[in-house]
């Protein structure tokens, strides 16, 4: 599916796998792009995809991956920055989408893995299992370039758009409830220092 197709939404989006898609995203990162992994499974799968020095793994502050990414984007306008977060996380900080839209960094891309559940706490339902639609919310917040990835190829095409610097952009991905492929080593000082070294700071 091409990046231009618009008559598609959450209902038509193929259900993908977070571990596979994280690896697929990371494989396209060739220019030391920064990646902020949200709390829990989002950063567990980022960790499992290979510990790039430009990865930051959150240990708490649920919902703030996009805000941390915005800060990185404001500090290093030449670097592309990705935030990876879950549906339960972003639902806690919907205002952050509006803040990103207001600042409008062309280098920033938010990826939301949406399985409609709080997977890590026992798969309780999130709002997105009902009527809440992350892409509609993001568009309403001012992120006009927000899309449901319809399948793997569409995801790739959207990522390429982000890498071309046409952001800010949000890519929502419907995912299954499979467990992450690993677990992050939770040493915050080391994570921060590695990340700063990775960003050349």
Partner 1 sequence: MGSEVVKEDWAEIFVRVLKSNEIDLVAYVPDNVLRPLIDAIEADPYFTVVLPAREEEAIAIVAGAYMGGRKGITLMQTSGFATVPNALASLACPFQLPVVMVVSERGTIGEFQQGQAMVCRTMRPVLQSLGIEHFAIQDRSQVEFVADGMIRQAFATRAPAAIILSPLLTKRPH
Q: How far is the CB of 94 from partner 1 (least distance, A)?
A: 8
Under the binding rule (CB under 8 A), the answer on residue 188 touching partner 1 is yes
- With CB under 8 A as the contact rule, the residue among 26, 69, 163, 172 that binds partner 1 is 69
Please say which residue, 104 or 129, places its beta carbon nearer to partner 1.
104
Under the criterion CB under 8 A, does residue 157 sit at the interface with partner 1?
no
Backbone torsions φ then ψ of 165, nearest 5 degrees: 85, 35
Task: Give the shortest CB-67-to-partner 1 separation in angstroms.
Answer: 3
Site residues (CB under 8 A) for partner 1, limited to 38-57: 56
By beta-carbon proximity to partner 1, the closer residue of 98 and 182 is 98
The string over 108-127, giving b where at least 16 C-beta atoms fall within 10 Å of a residue's C-beta and e elsewhere, is: bbbbbbbbbbbbeeeeeebe
Tokens of 62: 């649920």
CB of 76 to partner 1, least distance (A): 5
Burial class of 146 by CB neighbour count within 10 A (0 to 12, 13 to 18, 19+): buried
- Matching residue, tokens 């299992």: 129
- Per-residue binding letters, 93-122, with partner 1 (x by CB under 8 A): x-xx-xx--xx-------------------
Using the minimum distance from each CB to partner 1, give the nearer residue, 58 or 91: 58
Q: CA-to-CA distance for 123 and 107, rounded, in angstroms?
A: 33
From CA 126, how far away is CA 155, in angstroms rounded? Answer: 23
Question: What's the closest the beta carbon of residue 107 comes to partner 1, in angstroms?
Answer: 11
Give yes or no for residue 138 binding partner 1 (CB under 8 A).
no
> What gap in Å lies between CA 50 and CA 149, rounded to an integer?
23
- Quick one: how far is CA 74 from the chain centroid? 18
For residues 78 and 178, give the distance between their C-alpha atoms in angstroms, rounded to a whole number.
35
Instruction: Report if residue 74 touches partner 1, rule: CB under 8 A.
Output: yes
Closer by beta carbon to partner 1, 179 or else 190: 190
Which residue, 2 or 78, is less far from partner 1 as judged by CB?
78
């Amino acid at each position: 599916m091409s990046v231009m197709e618009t008559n598609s939404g959450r209902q038509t989006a193929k259900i993908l796998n977070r571990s596979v898609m994280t690896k697929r995203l990371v494989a396209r990162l060739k220019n030391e792009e920064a990646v902020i992994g949200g709390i829990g499974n989002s950063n567990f799968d980022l960790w499992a995809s290979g510990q790039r020095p430009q990865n930051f793994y959150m240990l708490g502050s649920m919902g703030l991956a996009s805000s941390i990414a915005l800060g990185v984007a404001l500090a290093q306008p030449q670097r592309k920055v990705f935030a990876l977060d879950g549906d339960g996380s972003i639902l806690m900080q919907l205002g952050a989408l509006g803040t990103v839209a207001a600042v409008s960094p062309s280098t920033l891309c938010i990826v939301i893995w949406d399985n409609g559940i709080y997977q890590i706490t026992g798969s309780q339902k999130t709002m997105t299992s009902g009527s809440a639609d992350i892409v509609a919310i993001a568009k309403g917040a001012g992120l006009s370039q927000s899309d449901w990835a319809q399948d793997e190829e569409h995801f790739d095409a959207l990522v390429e758009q982000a890498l071309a610097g046409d952001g800010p952009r949000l890519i929502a991905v419907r995912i299954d409830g499979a467990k992450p492929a690993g677990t992050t080593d939770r040493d915050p000082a080391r994570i921060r220092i590695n990340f700063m070294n990775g960003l050349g700071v």
